[in-house]
């Protein structure tokens, strides 16, 4: 890796390691800055880079942010503003960090039908 690329990676990794522990709650919007989408990218990068310290930041937050989630309102997606499903991005991140049985149980609880019923035809075109 070139000297400049290594320096940029070091600065970026350091900034992320300082930022992640400061988060108090997940960002759950259907855009790039949602935390589940970002954590998935960070997790993958840390694995490729061999950055164990960075990977240790993500599990700490997933426990507090996502493991206890129930009934993600997937029936409201897409909202017309979303292009990344917050519910599916959360499931995608959790699939990376949990073993298969834990992921299956968590996904079953968090992505099941929310129980809300919208008015018939609400998604039909005008």
| Residue in 68, 55, 80 with CA at minimum distance from that of residue 26 | 68
Tens of pLDDT along 81-92? 767 788 888 888
Tens of pLDDT along 39-62? 888 889 888 988 888 888 766 656
C-beta separation of 66 from 27 below 8 A: no
Distance CA 26, CA 110 (A): 15
| Residue in 27, 61, 29, 70 with CA at minimum distance from that of residue 43 | 61
Is the pLDDT score of 115 beyond 70? no
- pTM for this structure? 0.74
């Amino acid at each position: 890796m070139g000297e400049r690329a290594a320096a940029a990676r070091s600065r970026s990794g350091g900034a992320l390691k300082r930022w992640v522990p400061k988060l108090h709650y997940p960002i759950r919007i259907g855009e790039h800055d949602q935390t589940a989408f970002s954590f998935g990218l960070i997790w993958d990068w840390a694995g490729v880079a061999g950055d164990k310290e960075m990977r240790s930041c993500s599990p700490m937050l997933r426990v507090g942010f996502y493991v206890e989630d129930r009934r993600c309102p997937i029936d409201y997606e897409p909202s017309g503003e979303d292009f990344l499903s917050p519910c599916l991005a959360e499931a995608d991140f959790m699939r990376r960090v949990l073993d298969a049985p834990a992921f299956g149980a968590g996904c079953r609880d968090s992505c099941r039908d929310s129980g809300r019923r919208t008015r018939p035809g609400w998604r039909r075109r005008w």
